[in-house]
Chain A
Amino acid sequence: MATPVETISPLQYAARIIRENPVIPLILLLCALVGLLEGLQPGIFNERWVGNTIRFAIPLAMLAACQTLTMLTGGIDLSAGVVATVSAFVVATLTPLVGGPAAIVLALVPAVLMGLVNGFGVGICRVHPLIMTLGTGLIGTGCLQVYQRYVINTGSEIPGFFEFLGTGRTFGMPNALYLFVPFAILILWGLRRTGFGRLLYALGANENATRLSGVRSWQVLMALYTVVGLIAGITGLLYVGIIRAPSLSLANSLMLPSVAAAVIGGTSIFGGRGSYSGTIVGALILTVLGTLLTLLQIPEGARRLLFGAIILAVTAVYVRITDQS
């Protein structure tokens, strides 16, 4: 049987490479943004700036991991921001009372608990993830306000370990990388090379097919949302180490950008497609974009407007490039 000879124009060839490695155009976009920034304010691109950008991109990328993992199954986690805030607030208020290590453990308990409740609702009660996590997020915020009344006089302190991660530097690079690099490797490896990672993609691609293959989806979803709760909790601990001032809405401002980072990074909100490497680059793009818009000294309103418009444009173009069927 003769195989038809394919004639490919250079443009098609480039399109194919991009399709097979969807992170490449994102990295190019990131470089372009940095170039633009350097053009607008020569000399800004130095070690200090890079370190700072990475430092602020890391909590975003970690929270966006929650979105990527849940989106792969066709879900979402709108409670991730609240979970992070709860953990951060609890750790900061308990450290003066029980000491750092115990406070860290106690702070992760509500995070895992909220994840379990999400998993129960989504996996067993079949509530839509959007509604379920929105609900637990609101409940979490409420509980936090009640909790605050009881600890109002304890003062706050951040465990030394997370202060070290959040503010310290090694060779100019933020110490948060000590946490993030192993974390990212674990997620990247987990999604590609473990049964659990494969099942996340499979559930999002076709739940019926996974059922036919003997997968009990509630088990997967239960485990997923619990793990995601834990990740959000750890993110909160790191973030409070960076910001060093706990509040009742600490990580909430990261919530929607974390969804945007996952989507820009090429994760389909309908499930079945995406990668964590794309999400990491997405988080970096959003952080650089934020600096860029601040630098241009545009009023807050216009800045948000531009931010939203750019996210939409990038996502639309990206989907065009990668989804040629």
Chain B
Amino acid sequence: MTEAATGRPLLDASGVAKRFGAVAALKDASLTVAAGEIVALMGANGAGKSTFVKILTGALRPDAGHIHLDGQDRRFASPAQARRSGIMPVYQEPSLIPDLDVADNLRLVDVPVEPFRHWVNELGIADLRLDDPIAHLPLATLRILDLALTLAKEPKVLMLDEMTAALPTDLVERVLTVIRAQADAGRSVIYISHRFAEIARVCDRASVLRDGVTVGDFVIEPGIEEKIVELMLGGIPTRVEATGARIRDAAGAAETPRLQVRGLGAGSKLADVSFDLNKGEVLGVVALEGQGQDELFSVLAGFRRARSGTIEVDGKPASFGHPADAIARGLTLVPGDRKDALLMLRSVRENIALPQLAHPSKWGAIPMRREAARVADAVARLQIDMRAQAEVRRLSGGNQQKVTIGRWVAAGVETLLLFDPTRGIDVRTKHQIYPLLRELAAQGASILFYTSELDEVALACDRAIVIFGGRVVDVIDASQASEQNLMRAAYGLTEAGRQSSTMTEAQP
């Protein structure tokens, strides 16, 4: 406990634990919020933040631990019950029903119109009409409406999940002012955010989660950022293993890059990303959740169109309307979710051979021997466990991921786009995948490797670009890619990052 918890604690959660099967998502999380206080809840990807939030708001039941509200021990059976007790969340995804207009949405959740109007005005949206259909309103407005709706219900504890993401600067200002005023009026606010600048402005304290355990509770003061970053990482000294890093020397830099991306923008999150991916290089991509990396990979793999910018493959301009176009230029994707990539009911062989049959000229008789040889080669290179080969769904997660990678290995890799390929798979498989990436790169393949686990950059990459707010804020050499450096850059704490965050917010 810190001295900062001045008033009586309004919400006091302690020893909260939650397991999902064999995975302990939360081990010992705690959080105290006094009346009139704004507390930031922080943690790296996978630290257990969202599980903790779900438990506090009644969406999940904890296996252990206590939640006291106003001094009473509470166990919420549902989000509705938590709301009735006064804990009200505003999530990243707008909760309004798109097909109804504003007034109908208010009626649906039983919110009186007058206080709602008051808050909408207060939050800086002057021209809202109650008969506007939700589907016609921009995302930023919807988030403001969500907040106004929640404020109108007079919460005791307001929980804001990345409230300022997707908001333009003037609205961010308004929101922060209103939140501060709420706290000053005696309410409690839990503020979940990746943005240090905002946390420093409005929050009183920060509570840090790491691997499901609350590891620190700080009063916000100048210079606290470094300490928090260190704590989120575990405070272990920097461990750069140069095993993976085999940087190509100057000879490589002179030739045309395999992939040249300039000023790429897409959707509302990817603003302006430029980088070169050379032949034989593994280029890491580091970013917090939702900084535009999903859009970047979708565009490169041909799943969506770019809004702006250019892509050049081997020096020739490229534009993809369908993944088939990207594949034709050698860009192949291993997506973040294996369920998106695999035919779960079909065999390992069919899954690996699938890209070979895509073009209508290959729809005839399958050359079975050649296919078998090709599949066997991929299986051997990736050491896929074939005991349950008849249906891919019976394979372990790690083996399934090997199949998705093996599909492109069998097809002959030119440029591999890996989106967090090691998420949720076992350590042994991970350490089979890193050397494979190095081997593919040594044979001339180019690999773009987004990872949410920072230590993988040093293990598998040559360089890494860091994306924050839809822009590249840093390029870090593998030799410098300590988790601290990466984390600092990912949180926009470098010079470029600070500029980028102001630029992002300045967008309309």
Do B340 and A216 touch (CB < 8 A)? Answer: no
For A291, what are the chain B residues with a Cβ–Cβ distance below 8 Å?
Answer: none
For B343, what are the chain A residues with a Cβ–Cβ distance below 8 Å?
Answer: 201-202, 205-206, 209-210, 272
Binding-face segment, A189-197, A233-241, A245-253, A301-309: A189-197
Do A195 and B342 touch (CB < 8 A)? Answer: no
User: Closest B-chain residue to A206, C-beta based?
Assistant: B343
- B interface residues (Cβ-Cβ under 8 A, vs A): 301, 303, 322-324, 327-328, 333, 335, 339-346, 350, 353-360, 362-366, 368, 390, 393, 407
Do A209 and B342 touch (CB < 8 A)? Answer: yes
Partner of A219, one of B344, B345, B360: B360
- A interface residues (Cβ-Cβ under 8 A, vs B): 20, 193-196, 198-199, 201-202, 205-206, 208-216, 219, 223, 272-273, 325
Do A212 and B360 touch (CB < 8 A)? Answer: no
Bound Cα distance A301, B365 (Å): 48
Do B346 and A202 touch (CB < 8 A)? Answer: yes
Given contact pairs A213-B354, A223-B360, A223-B363, a sample of 14 additional A-B residue pairs in the complex whose CB atoms are under 8 Å apart = A20-B390, A193-B368, A194-B363, A195-B363, A198-B353, A199-B357, A201-B346, A202-B346, A211-B303, A212-B333, A212-B335, A213-B358, A272-B343, A272-B345
Tell me the smallest distance from the CB of B351 to a CB of chain A, in Å.
Answer: 8
- 20 inter-chain pairs at a CB distance below 8 angstroms, sorted by A residue, are A195-B364, A198-B357, A201-B346, A202-B343, A205-B345, A206-B339, A208-B340, A209-B340, A209-B354, A211-B323, A212-B301, A212-B323, A213-B358, A214-B322, A214-B324, A215-B324, A223-B360, A272-B343, A272-B345, A325-B393
For A201, what are the chain B residues with a Cβ–Cβ distance below 8 Å?
Answer: 343, 346, 350
User: Closest B-chain residue to A199, C-beta based?
Assistant: B357
Tell me the smallest distance from the CB of B339 to a CB of chain A, in Å.
Answer: 8
For B407, what are the chain A residues with a Cβ–Cβ distance below 8 Å?
Answer: 213
Bound Cα distance A219, B358 (Å): 10
Partner of A272, one of B301, B340, B346, B356: B346
Tell me the smallest distance from the CB of A82 to a CB of chain B, in Å.
Answer: 28
Bound Cα distance A195, B360 (Å): 9
Closest 10 CB pairs of A and B: A195-B357, A205-B343, A196-B363, A214-B358, A214-B324, A214-B327, A195-B363, A213-B355, A215-B358, A213-B354
Tell me the smallest distance from the CB of B404 to a CB of chain A, in Å.
Answer: 9
For A213, what are the chain B residues with a Cβ–Cβ distance below 8 Å?
Answer: 323, 327, 354-355, 358, 407
For A212, what are the chain B residues with a Cβ–Cβ distance below 8 Å?
Answer: 301, 323, 333, 335, 340-341
User: Closest B-chain residue to A196, C-beta based?
Assistant: B363
Partner of B365, one of A20, A193, A273: A193
Do B324 and A216 touch (CB < 8 A)? Answer: yes
For B357, what are the chain A residues with a Cβ–Cβ distance below 8 Å?
Answer: 195, 198-199, 215
